[in-house]
């Protein structure tokens, strides 16, 4: 099993084939939880291009084990496509990726990290709460939809 001390974080292009494989896995998991495609929010590789965003991957050795990106949303950074492969869960990967996202957004002058998640992702909600995120008014693609939960953390 992967230990958190073995996890490294690097910037990646959202359209890299290995990254797209992670995204495919993430969407399949969301589809199992919510139905449909899992998440219909429009996302483009250019959303994560510096300086208006970044996409980061977590890896152990040469294996990608997680990812997340942020894109500019006014003065904020919107967290998107956060995912940890099942075999790497419970090892602090998501927390490490989230901290790196926050650092990247802070370095670019963002005031907060904001995100949308859903009520069928209790693990994600627990992580965000442990990391100091607080509920905010819904803002994104799923604003007003049942089960949507939006959070923010001041950087």
What pLDDT is stored for residue 62 in this prediction? 87
What pLDDT is stored for residue 93 in this prediction? 96
Q: Determine the Cα–Cα distance for residues 64 and 55; give it in Å rounded to an integer.
A: 13
Looking up tokens 């040469």, which residue turns up?
62
Q: Determine the Cα–Cα distance for residues 152 and 120; give it in Å rounded to an integer.
A: 19
Residue 121 φ/ψ, nearest 5 degrees: -125, 65
**Dihedral of CA 25/41/8/90: which sign?**
negative
CATH number for the 4-110 domain, one of 1.10.3720.10, 3.40.50.720, 3.90.730.10, 3.40.630.30?
A: 3.40.630.30
65 in Cβ contact with 71 (< 8 Å): no
SS3 147: coil
Neighbour count for residue 50 (Cβ, 10 Å): 10
Q: What is the tens place of the pLDDT at every residue in 126-150?
A: 999 999 999 999 999 899 999 999 9
What pLDDT is stored for residue 44 in this prediction? 96
Q: Give every CB contact of residue 17 below 8 A, 6+ residues apart in sequence.
A: none
User: pTM to 2 decimals?
Assistant: 0.94
Q: Which residues of the chain have pLDDT under 70?
A: 1-5
Separation of CA 138 from chain center: 17
């Amino acid at each position: 099993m992967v230990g958190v001390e073995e996890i490294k974080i690097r910037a990646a292009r959202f359209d890299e084939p290995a990254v797209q494989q992670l995204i495919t896995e993430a969407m399949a998991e969301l589809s199992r939880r919510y139905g449909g495609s899992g998440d219909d929010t429009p996302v483009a590789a250019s959303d994560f291009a510096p300086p208006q965003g970044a996409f980061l991957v977590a890896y152990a050795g040469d294996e990608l084990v997680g990812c997340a990106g942020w894109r500019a949303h006014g003065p904020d950074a919107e967290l998107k496509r956060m995912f940890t492969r099942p075999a790497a869960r419970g090892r602090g990967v998501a927390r490490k990726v989230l901290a790196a996202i926050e650092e990247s957004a802070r370095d670019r002058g963002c005031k907060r990290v904001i995100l949308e998640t859903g009520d069928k992702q209790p693990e994600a909600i627990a992580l965000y709460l442990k990391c100091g995120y607080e509920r905010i008014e819904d803002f994104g693609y799923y604003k007003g939809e049942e089960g949507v939960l939006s959070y923010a953390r001041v950087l």
